[in-house]
Structure 1
Amino acid sequence: MKIVLVGYMGCGKSIIGAFLAEKLQLSFYDLDREIEKETQNSISELFQSKGEIYFRKKENEILKALLEKEEDFVLSLGGGTPCYYNNHELLLKEGVFSIYLKASVETLLTRLKQERTQRPLLHNQDEVSLKDFINKHLFDRNFYYHQVSKIVTVDDKSVVQIVDEIIDLLA
């Protein structure tokens, strides 16, 4: 089974994915890291030098390649991945168990205001505009995020609690 974690930036996909993979003794892939490996550029550099359209095409190409692998694994997607090309449809393929890690706006705001410099879409956001930005994105992405097998709310839960909840859903 391919376990794919979906959700807005800052919801914990990478940390939870790595912990889940370790607990299940599966390989772990982070789509952004796979893109960086293939392109030899950071996500920020790709956005700046090649633009978002190039990045989204590369993201779709690498996602398809990962989902075609024969092995079982855990994969964390980028926050926007399900919203471009037919990526949300790929999450419905047989053998793919997709999980939306749902976080409230307040949880995301608390986490993301610390990380603005590392995230290309947030560089120029102050706290007020960041909250509006998150609200708008969540509204725009809501349809895509709900095209998954299951939803797990992450607010006020530890990584261990979230991973245990996911494992229970897999049983």
Structure 2
Amino acid sequence: METHTKGSSLTKHVFLIGMPGSGKSFWAKQISAYFNFPFIDLDAKITHAHGKSINELFQENGEEAFRKIEQHELKNLCFQSPLQIIACGGGTPIYEDNLEWMKRFGLVIFINPSKASIIQRIYSKSHRPQFLNKSIQDIDRIYEELLVKRLPIYQQANHTVNEDQLTIEYLIKLIQPCINHH
């Protein structure tokens, strides 16, 4: 993919949020490659910093302790330079004031593909703690429970991108106002 912004930089971070399996990391990498801006996967950053998988951190310390670690890493990223394209964990915006931080330091985009797309992705390759070794029916039930809790928070993003809009071209249009051309 050709890059299109030599000598450009972001004026703020771009945070992608959404349900587990929604494609946040995939789209963040695509955006990053297109603009030649740094990409961060928050879950990967946490696993690298702590030398343990997300599953191990959940199992050893519980969700609350994991969310505190995640919040610490998120807040550190908010102050980092250069500004970056950041794929957040599905639960990142839900915890305490994380969404407020993201909106203060960046543009927040809710990636919202269809339920069927997400469930198929999760079922075919799940490494996520809440979906590990689950049947497709269990995944569907857990997805619905998570969605009820998370959707009102996700909908507070600066932009929502539904499946029919989910293209690199559409995401580029949303991000263009955050680009400083030198």
Considering the TM-score relative to the shorter chain, is it more than 0.5?
Answer: yes
CA contact (8 A) 2:78 2:102 kept: no
2:79 aligns with 68
Give distance in 1, aligned partners of 2:90 and 2:37: 22
**SS of the counterpart of 2:81?**
coil
TM normalised by structure 1 equals: 0.91
Q: How many residues matched?
A: 165
* Distance apart, 1:124 and its partner CA: 4.2
Gaps of 5+ in 1: none
2:153 aligns with 144
| Letter matched to residue 123 of structure 1 | L
Aligned residues with identical type, % of pairs: 29
**Superposition RMSD in Å:** 1.4
Of the three residues 51, 54, 62, the one matched with 1:40 is 51
Of the three residues 161, 171, 175, the one matched with 1:170 is 175
| Letter matched to residue 139 of structure 2 | L
* Distance apart, 1:123 and its partner CA: 1.6
1:87 aligns with 98
**SS of the counterpart of 1:11?**
coil
Give distance in 1, aligned partners of 2:58 and 2:80: 27
C-alpha offsets along residues 68-113 of structure 1, whole Å, 9 cap, x if unaligned?
11322100000011111211111220x4011000022111111111
Gaps of 5+ in 2: 1-11, 177-182
TM normalised by structure 2 equals: 0.85
Give distance in 2, aligned partners of 1:92 and 1:147: 9
Give distance in 2, aligned partners of 1:85 and 1:39: 22
Give distance in 1, aligned partners of 2:97 and 2:71: 8
